Amino acid sequence: MNLPANIAIGSDHAGFEYKEAIRQYLSQQQVAVEDLGTYSTESCDYPDYAHAVARAVEEGRVPFGILLCGSANGVAITANKHQKVRAALCWQNEIAALARQHNDANVLCLPARYITIDEALEMVHTFLTTDFEGGRHQKRVEKI
C-alpha cells in the first residue's frame, strides 16, 4: 500500500511537538495534511481536536487520522465515540501494523510522553502503508 493522498491530524499541547514533526514528514512525502490543531503548546482540551479528526474520518473527507496526546488514551476514547472510526492506541511499530492488518484501524493514536519522535514517525509510516488483511478479520471488524 502506498501512502494516502491526504490525512487529518490533531493533538493537544502534550502532542504538539510530535504533531509538527509528523506533519512535516508527511508533507515531504507529498501527503496533504489537514491540521486540525492545536497550534501551540498552550494547555488545551484534547477532546476538541480528537472530535475534529474523527469527524473528518467519519465524514469521509480523509481515509486516515492521526491523534496525539500525553498518553493517547483520551484521544482514542474520544475518537472511538464516532461511527466508522476505529482508533488504535499504538506504542510500538508492531502494534501499529497489527492495528491495520487485523482491525482495519483508521485513526492512529500516539502517546507523545511515552515514545520518541523517531518511533512516532516509524509508526505513522507503518500505519499508513499497511493494508487490512480482511479474511477472518473482516467478520470481527463488522461486529464492532
**Catalytic amino acids?**
69, 102
Spacing of C-alpha 113 from chain mean position: 16
Give the closest residue to 18 by CA, choosing from 87, 86, 109, 97: 109
Which cell numbers hold the place of 35? Answer: 491540521
Distance in angstroms (rounded) separating the CA atoms of residues 137 and 121: 26
Cα-Cα-Cα-Cα dihedral of 85, 75, 28, 18, to 10°?
-170
Spacing of C-alpha 129 from chain mean position: 13
- Cβ partners under 8 Å of residue 73, min gap 6: 89, 111
